[in-house]
Amino acid sequence: MTAKIVIVGSFNTDLTSYMERMPRPGETVSGRKFVTGPGGKGSNQAVAAARLGADVTFIGRVGQDVFGDLALKTWEQEGINTRYVVRDPEHATGVAPIFVDDTGENSIVVVLGANLNIQAADVDAAADLIAQADIVLTQLEINYDMVAYALQAAKRRGVKTILNPAPAGHLPAEVVALADFITPNETELEVLSGKSGLTAEQAARSLLTHDGQTVVVTLGAQGAQYVRQDATGVIPTFKVNVVDTTGAGDAFNGGLAVALAEGKPLTEAIAFANATAALCVTRPGTAPSMPCRDEVEALLASAK
Ligand code: RIB
């Protein structure tokens, strides 16, 4: 059965410069290459999920500008349902200037524009699809009241939710409580929990408010750690040649959403998400670097 995933999230046009090393404050360095491409955490996760075989609906806003055209073209090419995307008449499409150095590390500025103007009516318009979804997935590059609204809309209809709290931000505990799966990296975990100096497990545990919840902390090259009230464990990832880590978290979330929506057990779903992210970092860019299903299955099979 095809997994049905609804994403309430962001699109940004990524403006990526590749360079030997990042500039220090006040310094100018020469870059090797500049690429404009589709990005934004929500959209990257949608592209990942679609390439992995899911039926994906995107709810979000882009401007009435060329970057908005790029968003629509990308989603149409990937077979993503764009019926609930609004072309905002007053706000520009989000953009993200990105620096990537020779080790594959990145630093990103987001100017979120139309992403911050998603309205409750945009989510309400897709109520029927939300009710039929296996998973509703959201992130923190949209207005936070809409993060809460999307999670509530899903929970009211008995639909499982994933909250990817990226980029790092504070959310009220009652909003975090609406997520069945919370997927921070270590920095995002520290900010979301408001606790520093704890192990990932301790900080993750502090977010849990009920039995049904799972925190999955992404640990980069170490894989990912899941924490539930009754269990924890680390699922190691794959050793790969890292070219560009940008979008790795998005690949992980897209992969996790598909695997959970397909009913895979948690540890298997995390291994699937790890494989998706591992393949993503072997290529430059964000949305364009998302792997397809066959590649993920092949990497998983190679580890058996
Ligand atoms: O996670 C990577 C993404 O973060 C980039 O595509 C950029 O647009 C920012 O949203």
Q: What is the pLDDT of residue 134?
A: 98
Residue range 232-267, pLDDT digits in tens: 999 999 999 999 999 999 999 999 999 999 999 999
Q: Rounded to the nearest whole angstrom, what is the distance from the C-alpha of residue 223 to the centroid of ligand 1?
A: 20
Task: Provide the mean pLDDT of the chain.
Answer: 97
Question: What letter represents residue 2's amino acid?
Answer: T
Cis omega (within 30 of 0) for bond into 184: no
- Ranges of residues in the chain with a pLDDT under 70 are none
Active site residues: 250
CATH classification at residue 84: 3.40.1190.20
State whether the Cα torsion 151-152-155-156 is positive or negative: negative
Please state the domain count of the chain: 1
Residue at 126 is within a domain: no
Q: CA–CA separation, 127 vs 137, rounded Å?
A: 14
Q: Determine the pLDDT at residue 146.
A: 98
Q: Looking at residue 1, what is its pLDDT?
A: 83
197 φ, ψ (degrees, to nearest 5): 75, 10
Q: Does 228 reside within a domain?
A: yes
Yes or no: say if 235 and 271 are a contact pair by the CB < 8 Å rule. Answer: yes
Give the atom of ligand 1 at the shortest distance from the alpha carbon of 287.
6
Contacts of residue 43, Cβ cutoff 8 Å, sequence gap at least 6: 9, 10, 11, 12, 58, 60, 71, 74, 75, 287
Confirm whether 127 is domain-assigned.
no
Question: 218 lies in a domain?
Answer: yes
Residue 55 alpha carbon to ligand 1 centre in Å: 22
**Starting from the edge strand earliest in sequence, which strands make up the sheet with 160-164, in order?**
85-88, 55-63, 4-8, 135-139, 160-164, 181-182, 214-218, 224-228, 231-235
Amino acid 139: pLDDT: 98
50 within a domain of the structure (yes/no): yes
Considering only CA atoms, which residue is closest to atom 7 of ligand 1?
40
> What's the confidence (pLDDT) of residue 176?
97
27 assigned to some structural domain: no
Print the domain residue range for 186: 4-22+32-121+132-302
Per the domain annotation, does 298 fall within a domain? yes
Distance CA(66)–CA(292), nearest Å, equals 27
- Please report whether residue 166 resides in a domain: yes
Identify the residue whose C-alpha is closest to ligand 1 atom 9.
40
